[in-house]
């Protein structure tokens, strides 16, 4: 079983997007229906979560509960990685026993106290934590909205990987012609969200020409998994 030397994957929960900045305490995914706050506190582990609005490309992709009732088209995401303290509380209260014993000496080398991010856990550990907390982990890949958007001339494309993969990002114009292919190579599982880690596109074609204003699509491919979203260049 492979260790994750990166920070424990972010966990997600669906909800309704709103503009209110006030944080409210939420105990389960069902309680999210009708919530009007942009920021919440997840009761189980005390995590602060922010709503991620749907992009225009995602519009119409409704999310339903087990009874077929509409919940949302967006989700809440943890603001910070799961901490050592949160993970220890999970172990104590859940009775979960990792298949591979956690080397706490190594953990504390990288994360010296309970407020630091939890590291050196397996995917099974992360899945068990998410189940205990009442959240979910990302699927194999999670493509997020590029930023800035609209943009001119460059943008960053953030994404998440649940496992190691060969990754490419391909840019298409509005009629499906391939404009540019970004070969990101073999990447480890983790979060590629910040400037310098997310995929970067300078607004140019594969031959170095600057593209015109308009709508473009970007597709993330990690091994055999793909996700696509829309972006807009305004000059």
Predicted confidence at residue 224, as pLDDT, reads 82
Using alpha carbons, select from 123, 152, 149, 153 the residue that is nearest to residue 138: 123
Q: Which residue has the tokens 């088209």?
A: 73
Sorting pLDDT into bands at 50, 70 and 90, what band is 140? low
One domain, residues 93 and 59: no
One domain, residues 145 and 194: yes
Cα–Cα distance between 183 and 91 in angstroms, integer?
A: 39
Cα–Cα distance between 43 and 25 in angstroms, integer?
A: 6
% of the chain with per-residue pLDDT over 70: 78
One domain, residues 56 and 88: no
One domain, residues 103 and 70: no
Predicted confidence at residue 16, as pLDDT, reads 36
One domain, residues 208 and 161: yes
One domain, residues 98 and 125: yes
Using alpha carbons, select from 214, 196, 212, 207 the residue that is nearest to residue 157: 196
Q: Using the Cα atoms of residue 40, residue 55, residue 123 and residue 196 in order, give the sign of their dihedral.
A: negative
Give me the domain span that covers residue 165.
Answer: 141-233
**pLDDT of 166-204, one tens digit each?**
999 999 999 889 999 999 999 988 888 888 889 999 999
In a domain, 7, yes or no: no
One domain, residues 155 and 215: yes
**pLDDT of 23-54, one tens digit each?**
788 888 777 777 767 788 989 998 888 776 54
């Amino acid at each position: 079983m492979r260790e994750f030397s990166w920070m424990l994957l972010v966990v997600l929960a669906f909800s309704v997007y709103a503009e209110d900045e006030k944080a409210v305490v939420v105990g389960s995914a069902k309680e999210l229906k009708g919530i009007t706050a942009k920021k919440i506190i997840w009761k189980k582990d005390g995590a602060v979560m922010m709503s991620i609005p749907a992009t225009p490309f995602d519009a119409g992709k409704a999310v339903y509960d087990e009874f077929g009732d509409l919940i949302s088209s967006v989700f809440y995401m943890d603001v910070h990685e799961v901490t050592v303290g949160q993970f220890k509380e999970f172990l104590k209260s859940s009775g979960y026993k990792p298949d591979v014993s956690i080397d706490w000496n190594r953990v504390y080398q990288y994360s010296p106290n309970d407020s630091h991010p939890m590291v050196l856990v397996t995917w099974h550990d992360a899945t068990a934590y998410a189940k205990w907390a009442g959240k979910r982990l990302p699927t194999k890949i999670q493509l997020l909205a590029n930023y800035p958007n609209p943009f001119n001339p460059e943008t960053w494309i953030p994404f998440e990987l649940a496992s190691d993969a060969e990754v490419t990002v391909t840019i298409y114009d509005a009629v499906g012609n391939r404009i540019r292919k970004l070969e990101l190579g073999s990447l480890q599982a983790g979060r590629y969200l910040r400037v310098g880690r997310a995929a970067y596109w300078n607004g140019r074609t594969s031959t170095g020409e600057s593209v015109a204003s308009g709508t473009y699509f970007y597709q993330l491919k990690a091994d055999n998994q793909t996700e696509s979203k829309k972006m807009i260049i305004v000059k």
